[in-house]
Structure 1
Amino acid sequence: QDFGVVTAKWTKERLARNPSTGAPVVVPAYRSLGFTPSLGFKTGTRNGTMLTDAQAKALP
């Protein structure tokens, strides 16, 4: 059964400020997790059942 897709997302390096001193700080680029749920997972969690993508598409 389909669950979804987990991907790595990259953020760009950016300039931020230290809230205590107000000094500019460079925040380095880093990876974070991204998750895109499948249609069956989204529909199934709303209905309280486990559905495949094909079953979710067949629903009215």
Structure 2
Amino acid sequence: MYYYVGDFRWLPRWKKKINRIFFLNYTFCLVLSLLNACLVHFLILVLALVLTNQATQPS
């Protein structure tokens, strides 16, 4: 009976911890995906500029 009560006392803390971990993981993934998208766009822009420069200035 005491263990049951103790279990219930511990549950909210664990829930908070798990929620915090999930939230942090989610935000981290979100930021990472945003950065990845920005990097991809930046790379595409750079490639496009390089290609246009090569096309306009034949060596």
- Measured against the shorter chain, the TM-score band is under 0.3
Q: Which has the larger radius of gyration?
A: 2
Normalising to structure 1: TM-score of the pair?
0.19
**Greater strand proportion:** 1
Normalising to structure 2: TM-score of the pair?
0.19
1 or 2 for the larger relative contact order (CA 8 Å, sep ≥6)? 1
